[in-house]
Amino acid sequence: MAGYAIYPRSPAGQRIIMRKSIHLLRFVFLYLSLVAISLAAVKSEAQEIPAKAPPNVVIILSDDQAWTDYGFVGHKQIQTPAIDQLAKESLTFTRGYVPSSLCRPSLMTLITGQYPHQHGISGNDPPKGTDRREMLKHVRRAETLPKLLGKAGYTSFQCGKWWEGNHAEGGFTAGMTHGDPAKGGRHGDVGLKIGREGLQPIADFLDANGEKPFFLWYAPLLPHSPHTPPERLLAKYRDKTESLHIAKYWAMCEWWDESVGELLAMLDKRKLSDNTIVVYLADNGWLQDPASPKYAPRSKRSPNEGGIRTPIMVRWPAKIKPSNSDVAVSSIDLAPTILAACGVAIPADLPGLSLMPENQSKVAAREYLFGEIFEHDVADIDRPAAGLMYRWVLEAGPGDDRYKLIVSADGRASQLYNIARDPTEEKDLATADPERVAKLQKKLDAWWKP
């Protein structure tokens, strides 16, 4: 015991030795305790912060709904609490647009990020006498979102509206639409049951998918005609309008909202919401004709705001801070947004801009948005310009004076509106302001002149 030699072998010396030993043991115990606590904290922190995982993607696509027909936009009758809440939780662009106001070309733009004259789908149905399967060559050559995400390890599920044959033609790994014309395939077939008959196929896909990142295409036939809402919803609107057709449409909008709420609840229940990008928009507008089940003029299939405008929302709780934006954006921006968020290279031929927060300065600096309107039936499946009706261009920047020019296919008729002050486009300013018409015409021709 050389270390204790200075102390005499007496009771007092032994007590000193005992006290020193106790102090040493206390120090060692305290040190080991602190080390253990530090290691536990590091381990706990590692458990709370999972390995970086790619986000899931859910596209929620309304079918035939005006940009005004939501509670959060200010509609006084239609109740849309689920979509209103989604708007609060999203980066919400109140001035969103689709380039073409007809469902098939609009959907193809959404899934490719290209204008109709680029991806080749300009109308819903092929020329009379032409097998609609001949049009599938366009989707087969296209780099769709499911194809691009699939290369990065994503699974994908299609349900609802889908015009491009079997879901696999678009690159989906699973889906509801068979696309066989001999069995009624046109714009969704079996897939059109989703929403109107519940969401069980989506639940089955999510539960079977495991931990793999996924892309979900939810495009039901809602609030699209036939306007056959549940009686419990129709009863809420019957006495709010003199038109039964309008009451039915309003009820359909609320039915659609319930469906959206059910889907979002599915994500919450499975603890998927935080790392899932939810994108919301409508394929085109709809103004209800009060005297018939059809749409009114200057809505669907038109270049007017009632046809091409829609709110666009992007929700990603893990990365995007909720806010409202008055910057004009387009559905051509959604493919690059999704690809950028998922870490997938954006093809060079995509004309849109990513809407991710780090790119907002470029989005805000963009000067113009463009679009094109074609005949319902395709005139020539290889030459979209053959069915062109209108081109349009609008000033995208902020301010109280934002103009929009609509030009007919033959170039002889132009309409000019200050859509900031006149969103319903009541006053045509083309004759009064020829200089502005010429300026916007030049921009339009530089974008695409058939």
| pLDDT > 70? residue 5 | no
What is the per-residue pLDDT for 41? 44
- What would the pLDDT profile of 48-83 be if each residue is shown by its tens digit? 334 479 999 999 999 999 999 999 999 999 999 999
Q: What is the dihedral of CA 215, 218, 134, 390, to 10 degrees?
A: -110
In the structure encoding, which two tokens stand for residue 368, read together? 């113009």
What is the per-residue pLDDT for 229? 98
What is the per-residue pLDDT for 19? 57
Domain ranges of the chain: 2-48, 56-366
Q: What mean pLDDT is predicted for residues 99-111?
A: 98
Class of the domain covering 56-366: alpha beta
What is the per-residue pLDDT for 23? 53
* pLDDT band with cut points at 50, 70 and 90 for residue 18: low
pTM here is 0.88
In the structure encoding, which two tokens stand for residue 289, read together? 């004709």
* pLDDT band with cut points at 50, 70 and 90 for residue 128: very high
* pLDDT band with cut points at 50, 70 and 90 for residue 236: very high
Q: What mean pLDDT, rounded, does the chain reach?
A: 91
The three-point CA angle 382-385-386 to 5° equals: 75
Q: Minimum mean pLDDT among 38-42, 61-65, 107-111: which range?
A: 38-42
* pLDDT band with cut points at 50, 70 and 90 for residue 43: very low
For residues 381 and 135, the answer to whether their CB atoms sit within 8 Å is: yes
The three-point CA angle 223-331-94 to 5° equals: 70
Q: Phi, psi at residue 139, to the nearest 5°?
A: -70, -30
Q: Minimum mean pLDDT among 11-25, 35-49, 246-260, 366-380: which range?
A: 35-49
Distance CA 52, CA 342 (A): 11
CA distances from 404 to 280, 312, 323, 394 (A): 24, 19, 26, 4
What is the per-residue pLDDT for 198? 98
* pLDDT band with cut points at 50, 70 and 90 for residue 399: confident
Rg of the Cα atoms in the chain: 29
Q: How many CA atoms lie within 13 A of 346 on its CB side?
A: 20
- What would the pLDDT profile of 400-435 be if each residue is shown by its tens digit? 899 999 999 998 899 999 999 999 999 999 999 999
| pLDDT > 90? residue 30 | no
